[in-house]
Structure 1
């Protein structure tokens, strides 16, 4: 979720040239985090005649995570290709990634497992799901949380023969969201070796990997009870989004690069794949459709890769100017902290001012139901903006008072 070496368009050349920092990519990252915020912070099961369109839009805003994946695949592959001949290739990449990711991530875990239980105890609230998460803490410490779903999958439990591993409760949402960080971290550990060994055949390898992942998702949908979580969170099912971003970075450096091919891909992804997925999700919201679980994630990634390809080539397009606006770039800069903090803030706010709703719109805890302003029409937007604002402030403080000191060490590697 961090901008690395980026692309700019060069109209005087038929190639995409690498010219350092590109504000467009921070803007895309800002759009991604705003989509995630909207999906998590709007009470998306709740809908009235006045809010149906807003609620339906929030249904599909989870695709912001896929935009993060495409950007990560693109940026990381570009960095690896540019540095593959340098000394300490592996060491420098791993340490630089660790300095960006680990400090905030492990601070977040400390807050979740030490501070939050203390706060809840002080409020005389016992959170069963946090007790369960404490038992599974090693999954979080070692970036394996995207495979916790396996503990409730009958087929896998039967194979390993350890029924006592079953989850009593799902982890709270503020911990559950780190599954995407686990996917990226596992990618960072494996992909440098793949690039180093197969860099001459990387384009064909990427296409093969994507096809294998689609076939694997088809297999899991037909065999597992919990195929929804498996196809959504398992790295072996989601790395196609990273691969599509990686493929874009590889082609931009390829001797076979053709601007007309790049532009056709951009058009197809941005104006065909992405709208098709959005329309499908508006009609069949959620991730419980088997056809979508097999093909949908790849189509989303192709759509966002098309968006990325388009804005990298078209310097003066209105879309690029919008994406490069200061507000999107600002959110992009602090997106990592915002992503980690926002559901934690939401969780605590729901404990202090409870307004949780069931799918039918009725309150989950009727006796505690206390919407801000006495109405959900007031509560929903106010709570969303208040939570987002607190999360942004926390991310800003965290970046400038904590993370920035670790980032300064990257220049040593």
Structure 2
């Protein structure tokens, strides 16, 4: 898409006027042969741009739906808490109402965590499919980006907006002769309050994902399907490809793992200062997640895709946003709760923005230059060492390429 609006050039190409027969030329580093998604290789750039606009529109609509769902639950919890407070003032103790109010408050945290774990990944995988990306690494980058942003918005931002700007009330106070408008929720620290709910989210977000990942219901479902087919082996009507898919382990999605980790990191640095115990929860959760993920990769998953280094590089760049989120989180929460903003937080934000805007890779190349060595081996000589090539991966040319490769062997 960047090349489409950049006269046919990608960001790292310096030449101008890449036009051939009145058509724009799109120049970029080619993907590895097994990194190409041949299903979308024929899609034109204009179609891809339109498809991605549609995908982003659907993504925004999904986020809007999440917002209204959490808002509805928050309003319900708020009214239940108000009803409990009124009954307590009148000396009435209704255990049923108190229990329902408590469960409603808890339900918000549980809904956010389980919705993120079971729904967001599936929905955004379908959304990214609509983008018709012909590169598996770029597909995973797009998926990891969208999922990370969606998980962070659901976990951190929506609750912040609802609790302080929609379900609270406005008061004016005077602080050092300056008027501050502060949005204060009726209950901030008590049951059903903002800090109470976010502490629950911290706890659930730290331990529910690794526990579910260890239980691995997807592998259980695959085992059940496999057992059912083995029981009806005599009446089996599966094709060879369908049988292979049932007998193999479930796919390992690297992008989903990145999304879970990125959401936890952003969320922790955003609310870490106001909820310090959340940092401890996140450290414990990420450590547990690492060992569970390692076990699943080695024992219960199959890795089909050979992704390039660009996915890891992109995720590292997204991780660098934690500096900005730290400053923004401190600034927003301090201004809302205490009516003051620390200058240190602004410095953190400025440092984070500058760090993300500066071309750090180019600066590193200038400071630590590396010698470029040209390849001296001819392609025909090196071909025998390749585990695959474009012809062998292309479904149209695969048979002829394999026959030719066998003859050369």
TM-score (norm 1): 0.29
TM-score (norm 2): 0.30
Between Structure 1 and Structure 2, the one with more helix by share is: 1
Point out the structure with max Rg over C-alpha.
Answer: 2
Q: Which has the higher contact order (CA 8 A, sep 6+)?
A: 1
